[in-house]
Each structure stands twice: as C-alpha cells, then as structure tokens.
Amino acid sequence: MTKIGIILGSTRPGRNGEAVAKWVTEIASRRDDAEFELVDLADYPLPHLDEPVSAAYGAYQNEHTKDWSAKIAEFDGFVFVTPEYNHSTSGVLKNALDYLYSEWNNKAAAFVSYGGVGGARAVEHLRLVASELQLATVRAQVAISLITEFENFSVFTPGDYLEPQVGVMLDQLVAWSKALAPLRERAVGTDELDEPVAA
C-alpha cells in the first residue's frame, strides 16, 4: 500500500507544530487508500550537514544520515508540516531535506503550514527546494493562522473549515504518489543519476 510520511518540521521547545502534525495524522488515519506515519525530526537529530560527499551520490558516512535515509526511503509521499520563520521554513527542516537526494526523488509532497500569514511564504520556499529534489508538489495546501487558530498563539484550536482542506490535500497527495510509482520502480537498481549541482 502507498505509504505517506507526515514530517513534523520543527524541533523548537514548545513548538506549535506537534499539535498540528498530530491533528493531520489523526485525520489521515481515517483513510483506507494509504498508510500514514508521523515522522518527528526531533527523533532524528541531524547536525548541520556534515557529510563529506554530496547527497547526490548516496555515499553516506554517518550513522545519523543512514538512519534518516532508511526512514525516508520507506515512503511514497510526504506531508511537510512547517512553521514560518522569517519568511521561510525552519532551518531544521531545510537541513533534513539537504541530507538526502534520491530518497526524495519521484515522490509527491504536500504542505501544512502555520504562522502569522498561515506560513504561506515558508511553503513557497519549500516548493522551490522540492522541485530540485524531484518531489512533485500538489496544489492543495493547508495554511493555518496563528492569529485565528491558536489561543494565545500557543494552543491549537482548528476551525471546522480546515478539515475538508486537509481531505482535498490528501486526495491529491495520494493520487500523485500512486501515479509516480512507475518512475520510482524504474529508478530502483539503476546506476544512472540525474545529478544536481553540488555545493
């Protein structure tokens, strides 16, 4: 069955994202068209990128990278739950994305964001990053306002109107994840790599 990872993209103490990610996971768990798993970046503590070779080669040296690679390789698609920090995503999520390459390729991605303007600017940045990683992003996204959906900016109280948005987003994500399956199957066992420019 199609497997979707719901990635909690904040590790900050007192983070709002944990409640949001659990809410998305609970809604997703009612579906029977895919399996869903919450992946908390706090459970995969990655230092600032410390691999000596570009992720494009998959020649990982560190155990923390290998563990992260193995987890991400399990999935066919992703929901990224992201805060907005200074008009972008969190540093910890960007770092986690940069650690890998082929593990992201030919999979689908969706976004649930939160912030003063719903985290919309964080998602715009993430769509650019996802494109380079050969992640196909779906149009539907869920943008959650800190002003209207959090009591005292800290207690998540989502309005009923948001749940149908999650449903549409997941509909698109599961469909795209399944549609991309032939590309993932073709890539398995090949040595050819559409290599990005390595810094």
DSSP 49: -
Supply the pLDDT for residue 191: 46
- What percent of the chain is helix, strand and coil (3-state, nearest 5)? 40, 25, 40
Longest dimension (CA), the chain: 52
Give me the helices (H) in 29-113, please. Answer: 63-73, 91-98
Rounded-to-integer distance, Cα 133 and Cα 29, Å: 27
DSSP 88: B
Instruction: Assess contact for 141 and 123: CB atoms under 8 A.
Output: yes
Q: Quick check: helix, strand or coil at residue 48?
A: coil
Supply the pLDDT for residue 143: 98
- Specify the number of domains making up the chain: 1
Supply the pLDDT for residue 189: 54
| Residue 196 domain-assigned (yes or no) | no
| Residue 193 domain-assigned (yes or no) | no
CB contact set of 143 (below 8 Å; sequence gap of 6+):
113, 114, 117, 118, 119, 120, 123
| Residue 65 domain-assigned (yes or no) | yes
DSSP 102: T
Residue showing tokens 């539907």: 140
Supply the pLDDT for residue 187: 79
pLDDT (tens, 9 = 90+) of the chain, 199 residues, equals 999 999 999 999 999 999 999 999 999 999 999 999 999 999 999 999 999 999 999 999 999 999 999 999 999 999 999 999 999 999 999 999 999 999 999 999 999 999 999 999 999 999 999 999 999 999 999 999 999 999 999 999 999 999 999 999 999 999 999 999 999 998 775 544 445 545 5
Supply the pLDDT for residue 190: 52
Question: Could you tell me the pTM of the whole model?
Answer: 0.93
DSSP 194: -
Q: Quick check: helix, strand or coil at residue 167?
A: helix
Domain of 38, CATH number, reads 3.40.50.360
Instruction: Assess contact for 133 and 97: CB atoms under 8 A.
Output: yes
- Strand 35-40: give its sheet, edge to edge: 35-40, 3-8, 77-83, 107-115, 135-145
Rounded-to-integer distance, Cα 60 and Cα 113, Å: 30
Domain span at 136: 3-183
Alpha carbon distances (Å) from 110 to 1, 25, 26, 69: 18, 13, 16, 20
Rounded-to-integer distance, Cα 123 and Cα 167, Å: 18
Rounded-to-integer distance, Cα 124 and Cα 111, Å: 10
| Residue 198 domain-assigned (yes or no) | no
